[in-house]
Amino acid sequence: MGRGKVQLKRIENPTSRQVTFSKRRNGLLKKSLELSILCDAEVALLVFSASGKAYQFASHEMDRTIAKYRSEVGFLQTSDRRSRSMEFWRTEIEELKRSIDTLETRLKHLAGEDLSVLGMKELKQMERQIKTGVERIRSQKRRIMSEHIKSLKTQVKLHELHHANGSSTISGEIAHNAYPKVIDPLDLFSDDHSGNVLIWIKTKRLLT
């Protein structure tokens, strides 16, 4: 006679239920191994007992297989991305806080505060850095002063040229007014040049 059909329902007896669980669990794990070997399949099996104990089998790395499954079916992808994003920003915030604390401590040291926590090596290194910074500051000051002096010299030259052009114009006008048209002195007493006698006398006095 053949075996009777087993009715699928919860086994009420705890001992029988545990024995059946152990037998069928081992059979399932064995079948999973055979499937992965015979068919070159990637198999991942997770079983939790009624008490919450986990049993697993993986032909490859379990995490990789689970990630592959989630990627394939899109299961909880949005939630995973959100969770990873939150974790990423949490890490970034913590890193920024540490960086701020480090920079504030460094600024205090550069200002000559809290130096008691530094050793000789750190103090020498800070001294070299400060010297380098001072040299850069002086170099920048010299450059700015040089540019300023150059700008002032250019302005002075422009003022001198403007003044020289103005003086030349005034001198030319004075010369033109001071020295009238040259004429023969004998003609001064003629009727046509009688009005120039006084001008010629004044000019003669200026020249002598």
Instruction: Please classify residue 66 by burial: count the beta carbons closer than 10 Å to its beta carbon, then call 0-12 exposed, 13-18 middle and 19+ buried.
Output: middle
pLDDT band for position 165 (cuts 50, 70, 90): confident
Lowest mean pLDDT among 34-48, 52-66, 104-118, 179-193: 179-193
Tokens of 73: 């079916």
- Decide which of 42 and 185 is more confident: 42
| Predicted confidence (pLDDT) at residue 144 exceeds the cutoff of 90 | yes
Q: How many CB atoms lie within 10 A of CB 59?
A: 17
What is the average pLDDT score of the chain? 77
> What's the average model confidence in pLDDT over 164-176?
59
- Separation CA 28–CA 45 (nearest Å): 9
* Ranges of each domain in the chain: 14-75, 180-207
Under the banding of pLDDT at 50, 70 and 90, the label for residue 167 is low
Is the distance from CB of 154 to CB of 147 less than 8 angstroms? no
**Confidence at residue 113, expressed as pLDDT on a 0 to 100 scale:** 84
Under DSSP, is residue 3 helix (H, G, I), strand (E, B) or coil? coil
Over range 114-133, report the average pLDDT: 85
Q: Which CATH topology does 14-75 take?
A: SRF-like (3.40.1810)
Range 38-66 average pLDDT: 90
Quick: pLDDT tens for 74-121: 665 555 566 667 777 888 888 899 899 889 888 888 888 888 888 888
Nearest 5°: phi and psi at 46? Answer: -125, 130
What's the CA angle centered on 90, arms 88 and 92, to 5 degrees? 70
Token pair, residue 76, equals: 């909880």
Mean pLDDT along residues 43-50? 91
Span 53-71, average pLDDT: 87
Portion of the chain with pLDDT greater than 90, in percent: 22
